[in-house]
Structure 1
Amino acid sequence: MRVVICGAGQVGTTIARHLATEGINVTVIDIDQEQVRRVDESYDVRGLVGHASHPATLQEAGARDADMLIAVTHSDEVNMVACQVAYSLFNVKRRIARLRHAGYLAQDKSGLYAAEHLPIDIIISPEIEIADSIARRLRTPGAFDRVPMAGGLVELLGIHSGADCAVVGRRFVEIAEDDDEARMAVLAVMRDGRCFIPDADDQLAAGDDIYVLARSEQVDAVVRAFGHRKQTARKVVIVGGGNVGLHLARKILREFSGIDVKLIERDQQRAGEAAREFGDAAIVLNGDALDRELLAEAQTGSADTIVAVTNDDEANIFVSVLAKQAGCKRAITLVNKSNYESLIPTLGIDAVVSPSAVTISTVLRHVRHGTIFALYTLREDFGEVVEAEIGEGSRLLRRPLDQLGLPAGMKIGAVVRDGVAIMPDETTKLEVGDHVVALVTYSYLRFAEALLGTRRRPFG
């Protein structure tokens, strides 16, 4: 398989690294010579300096033999033209573009991306993906992350264990199987900056962030098992009236009931436009969210959740800390720079959203094809939660799970058979056509594909 990636920023570079580890032939294009040099020297990929939308550059990158083009430069227009050139001149079968400007994403513009116009197969909008991700978190305040898998039959939950968590000190196998109404599979633990797949006899420690799989109807019970009460947010303050903030406010007003929404936007024109759009449905405040008087006017101290989604990482972090100090129950913070990751847990911020991680996970979901149906990235350096169909050639068929000899970097958390979600135990046997939801670390992805009997089907 051959892939051309346009853009050697954080997103393009990370996608290239993931694909290269799977033996995929990758070429990365960027106009920044230093960016290209770094990706060329750091990973088993080919770097090419040039304009990603220029036909000559794409030809030199091998577009004529490419199966896919992924356009994730900082320019929407370059991404669109690159897809057009890849289709019209080189017949690249699959074209993915990141588009950020709201004007390109409106419903009445959807016909623009047909093959006879602008041939883009998959449009990735980070702002919409981020807003959707935050909205899922608002539905389950006890979870810092929530991702539906297997058509919504099971859900991946990120849960924090505080010092007062009732199950701290217990073995993970006991936590997972203790209550039939709250069955779960513990897939990963994040502890002291390290991420690992726990053994059954490992114990939950105070301060752990864990990822578990649970049946969708048992999500609330699972969250309660860790001492988190289901308390849907009723007062939400959104800081930042850009694309993410507006998408989120619209989604809350459209899909949630009985929620008091306040939006703080520094730019006067943007604030005015938002106020006219939302009318009486939301309160829009114009000013600097770092102004304590404005935060008091927004009543952040009595808010259930503050969501900081400006374009300034530092502002997002500081306003989240100020709101928590004032009494806000929960802070969800947008952070672009990965070097802040180690700082965040010390500040009392409850959930962090990374635009690059959201985009990477979404792009990889569309790169994985054949019998891999869904994917969620757990940290850029750890692994993926995948949903895959068991094929005829799988070596995992018809033997109990405890006899499969799964590698250390793979854990099966759920099985879906005939539309029913099963939380497996050591006696569960897999059948052809089963969908499994599993965590696989990056070093074992190719091995896991072989075990599952998955196959890559050609694009087109």
Structure 2
Amino acid sequence: MRIVITGCGRVGSALAAQLARESHDVCVIDREQSARRRLPLGFPGRFQVGNGFSRSVLQRSGIAHSDAVVAVTSGDNSNLVIARTAKEVFRVPTVLARVHDPRRADLYEGLGIPTVADVTWSVNRIHQMLLHRHLLPDVTFGNGETLLVRSAVPAYLAGRRLSEFEVDGEIRVVEVTRGGRSLVPGQTTTAAPEDVVTFVVAARCLHRLRAFLGKELGT
């Protein structure tokens, strides 16, 4: 993915580093050159000095060809302007913003801009929303390290034991909804067409679950 991150504070720098490690094309914008020091040595992405709400700065970042924009500056007003510009002017497919004042979250949501809050939780949540949109968690635990995720079972997996979907220490099947009724599966319970399965999954392993289910999800 081509991702533009505006704001190189704790959230922006941590998110940029994680995405770069996963070989995404990342451009980070911050108005202070000194913010570059927050990125790891050898950071393979680009760093651009400027105000993220400036259209010319955004254009130089390559926003016109980006897949996602993440607004995580220190100001809610700036994040809103950046997010709206990315969404309404440049038509970026995925736009996310950090909100510092929870009372403003409804304003963002009313404009169709998903929001996140808090530092550690924000990095995990933004990462999930960017890369695993089909598997957004119903519940998160701790700082987002463990997730509760529900997904329909792809047709090609029907007839297989649900225990085969598990990976020790990473993915567990904890519930199945079948025909409107919920059940706790046993070791020999097999998947049926139209089952909805609840997984407990380590956030760092969400990509593995996504790959397993991806054929049906089209991701």
Is 1:426 the equivalent of 2:207? no
Q: Confirm or deny: 8 A CA contact 1:371 1:389 kept in the other structure.
A: no
1:60 aligned partner: 60
Structure 1: which amino acid aligns with 2:78? V
Q: Secondary structure at the match of 2:69?
A: strand
Structure 2: which amino acid aligns with 1:455? L
2:115 aligned partner: 124
Aligned-residue offset at 1:84: 2.8
Structure 1 residues 284-329: Cα deviation after superposition (integer angstroms, max 9, x where no partner): xxxxxxxxxxxxxxxxxxxxxxxxxxxxxxxxxxxxxxxxxxxxxx
The sequence identity of aligned pairs, in percent, is 26
1:435 aligned partner: 196
Is 1:455 the equivalent of 2:217? yes
Q: Confirm or deny: 8 A CA contact 2:67 2:92 kept in the other structure.
A: yes
Aligned-residue offset at 1:378: 4.7
Structure 1: state its 5+ residue gaps: 115-119, 127-354
Structure 1 residues 363-416: Cα deviation after superposition (integer angstroms, max 9, x where no partner): 4454355532425555569554433332245xx542223445736532222223
Q: Confirm or deny: 8 A CA contact 2:177 2:183 kept in the other structure.
A: yes
**Judging changes above 3 Å, is the alpha-carbon distance between structure 1 residues 89 and 38 closer, same or farther for their aligned structure 2 residues?**
same
**Judging changes above 3 Å, is the alpha-carbon distance between structure 1 residues 436 and 9 closer, same or farther for their aligned structure 2 residues?**
farther
Structure number with greater Rg is 1
Aligned alpha-carbon RMSD (Å): 3.5
Q: Confirm or deny: 8 A CA contact 1:69 1:95 kept in the other structure.
A: yes
Q: Structure 1: how far apart are the matches of 2:213 and 2:161?
A: 15
Aligned-residue offset at 1:76: 1.1
1:310 aligned partner: none
Structure 2: state its 5+ residue gaps: none
Q: Structure 1: how far apart are the matches of 2:113 and 2:35?
A: 25
Q: Confirm or deny: 8 A CA contact 1:99 1:123 kept in the other structure.
A: no
1:238 aligned partner: none
Structure 1: which amino acid aligns with 2:175? A
Give the TM-score normalised by structure 1: 0.40
Give the TM-score normalised by structure 2: 0.75
Q: Structure 2: how far apart are the matches of 1:31 and 1:445?
A: 33
Structure 1: which amino acid aligns with 2:53? S
Q: Confirm or deny: 8 A CA contact 1:5 1:29 kept in the other structure.
A: yes
Structure 1: which amino acid aligns with 2:10? Q
1:235 aligned partner: none
Count of aligned residue pairs for this structure pair = 218
2:33 aligned partner: 33
**Judging changes above 3 Å, is the alpha-carbon distance between structure 1 residues 439 and 405 closer, same or farther for their aligned structure 2 residues?**
closer
Structure 2: which amino acid aligns with 1:431? A
**Judging changes above 3 Å, is the alpha-carbon distance between structure 1 residues 58 and 401 closer, same or farther for their aligned structure 2 residues?**
same
Structure 2: which amino acid aligns with 1:406? V
Q: Confirm or deny: 8 A CA contact 1:377 1:384 kept in the other structure.
A: yes
Aligned-residue offset at 1:70: 1.6
Structure 1: which amino acid aligns with 2:87? Y
